[in-house]
Structure 1
Amino acid sequence: MNITNGRGRLVYGCMGLGGPWDGTSYGAAEIDQAAAVIDAAQNVGIELFDHADIYRSGKSEAVFGEVLARSQGLREKIQLQSKCGIRLGERGLDTHYDLSREAILERVNQSLKRLQTDYLDVLLLHRPDPLMDPREVADAVGQLMSEGKVRQLGVSNMSAAQIEYLQHQLEAPIVANQLEMSLLRRDWLESTVLVNHAEGLEYSFPHGTLEHCMAKGIELQAYGSLAQGRYTGARSADLSPAESATAGMLEKLAGEKGTTPESVLLGWLMKHPAKISPVIGTTNGKRIKACADAASVAAAMSRAEWYGLWVAARGSNIP
């Protein structure tokens, strides 16, 4: 299976698996939860499962690996991607980044051990490291690929300029960029229409990143795509007027289309010509099932419906 499939598709984000973020161990309950979530995700057509070495202090990968070990043939039916580059609680620092050659090799080997697999379909570099030497990254990635441990390379939270800078040293193409993108967090979208507009100063998203990824065939993966349930389950009393209006519009459209607000919300993302792949992280099986119609909703969504949701979420008209 090749990640560069030319279309948006749902991705399951595994950060919620494995129990608490603290140093406590996982047990049968956490493994069973992972098994149930994997099954629910597969039932809605999800093939790509997204990890990171730091999720739940490694326990997200570990419980997933336990499920793989007891489920014959499962590994061949799915794609696995994981990330490295963030260190938590090490060397007297709460957080620091490390994309050195040694760190990449060390962390990938640890992820493979926890996941109980021989290879990652995709390795993502989790965040830009200001001390990164692209030649070191290229050397580490080249070694991992030659050993069959990594099949494709992507990035996360990187701009077009950062991707190009890194790509100059790499033999393998960068195939994915994972960014926070949703109807709630719209910096990625606002930046495209607020050029030469004072309101554009309110958004930090690096202009041109979407266009670069589209031109180069880099899959855009959207984490936070369900907006943490802000539009699809939050109490109305906790919502702003714009959020309340958006939630109401999602309900209305879902009723008209015979589907769920979650599918409409994700369909809105997938309607974009960048062919965005939403990453969903809920561990609730019913909510996973509620996302099943996203691609078909995207295909059927009208331009007026798409813009209507954007304007509702903004709380004001576009320029």
Structure 2
Amino acid sequence: MGNMRINSLSLKETEALIHTAQEAGINFFDHADIYGGGSCEEQFAQAISMDKTIRENMIIQSKCGIRHGATGYYDFSKDHILTSVDKILQRLQTEYLDILLLHRPDPLMEPEEVAEAFDQLHASGKVRHFGVSNHNPMQIELLQKSLNQKLVVNQVQFSLAHTPLIDSGVSLNMNTENAVNRDSSTLEYCRLNDITLQAWSPFQTGFFDGVFVGDRERFPKLNDVLDRLAGKYDVTPTTIAVAWITRHPANIQVVLGTTNAGRLRESAEGSDIPLTREEWNELYAAAGNMIP
């Protein structure tokens, strides 16, 4: 369950959404220090009256590294990472994070400085595991070289209508737009190195350009296939959109950003739908991708 938008809900509504997630089998909760300027983390903890018993039944992940200035910038300095984590823990009313992600690549990153921060956080028990978000393979390699902890997660954008992770692999050596390798083979790199991929914005087109499920004006063929498969499996098109992601053998975790309890339940059902290879590829093609 992603918590980027929960500050649009009341505390009572937030509590109900979290309980809905848990009832649906979700125990992993994704945060970031910039979501609502930190208010989403505060609201999450307040809504459930966070205590040790509640905390033990959750995997909590948060992110840091994005700062807001005149233009916005990234900061992987030791001081910023340490300060950010202390504030995150305070807002979430917990003594530790299961996972801390560096949110977006910092062009001025000094890996040795990040390593010092991670060592201190790990030794103090404040963070148990570490990862990144929106990083390519060489950025991960550069960072990992200096770290004493293995990076275990890379959170990236991925959905049926946003597929750079797989496009160039499918269209290798073809003279098409999809053949352009835009992400440096991130999916294959993460699989080779046992790094779990997490998919953010699983229903979005592009960078927050709208939801494709139900958008028949832009995605008529895709929605026809989604509807037909939803009927076959007796679920909703939203469920099928999630099933397409979780069917991939990389065991991609889907980060659900919805604040709608019904949609949350529908989405959680997706990991139980065993799409066939033919169905998976039919959905990919229906989204506008050529399969050579």
Residue 33 of structure 1 and its aligned partner are, at CA, apart by 2.3
Instruction: Give 1:310's aligned residue.
Output: 284
Letter in 2 for 1:318: I
For structure 2, the 5+ residue unaligned runs are: none
User: Alpha carbon RMSD of aligned pairs, Å?
Assistant: 1.7
Letter in 1 for 2:212: Y
CA contact (8 A) 2:167 2:179 kept: no
From 246, 269, 275, the equivalent of 2:245 is: 269
Instruction: Note if 1:149 corresponds to 2:129.
Output: no
Residue 293 of structure 1 and its aligned partner are, at CA, apart by 1.8
From 45, 60, 72, the equivalent of 2:40 is: 60
* Alignment deviations for residues 59-85 of structure 1 (CA, whole Å, 9 cap, x no partner): 111101213435672211111000000
For structure 1, the 5+ residue unaligned runs are: 1-11, 20-28
Following the alignment from structure 2 to structure 1, what is the Cα–Cα distance between the partners of residues 88 and 281? 41
Residue 102 of structure 1 and its aligned partner are, at CA, apart by 0.5
The number of aligned residues is 288
Following the alignment from structure 1 to structure 2, what is the Cα–Cα distance between the partners of residues 153 and 191? 28
Letter in 2 for 1:279: V
Instruction: Note if 1:14 corresponds to 2:6.
Output: no
Residue 200 of structure 1 and its aligned partner are, at CA, apart by 4.3
Following the alignment from structure 2 to structure 1, what is the Cα–Cα distance between the partners of residues 179 and 60? 36
Instruction: Give 2:256's aligned residue.
Output: 280
CA contact (8 A) 1:97 1:129 kept: yes
Instruction: Give 1:4's aligned residue.
Output: none
* Alignment deviations for residues 3-26 of structure 1 (CA, whole Å, 9 cap, x no partner): xxxxxxxxx11001113xxxxxxx
TM-score (normalizing by structure 1): 0.86
Instruction: Give 2:18's aligned residue.
Output: 38
TM-score (normalizing by structure 2): 0.94
Residue 138 of structure 1 and its aligned partner are, at CA, apart by 0.5
1:104-183 → structure 2 map (5 Å cutoff)? 104-183=81-160
Following the alignment from structure 1 to structure 2, what is the Cα–Cα distance between the partners of residues 259 and 42? 20
Identity of aligned residues (%): 40
Residue 220 of structure 1 and its aligned partner are, at CA, apart by 0.3
Instruction: Give 1:24's aligned residue.
Output: none
1:155–1:16 distance in 2 versus 1, CA, 3 Å: same
Secondary structure at the counterpart of residue 182 of structure 1: coil
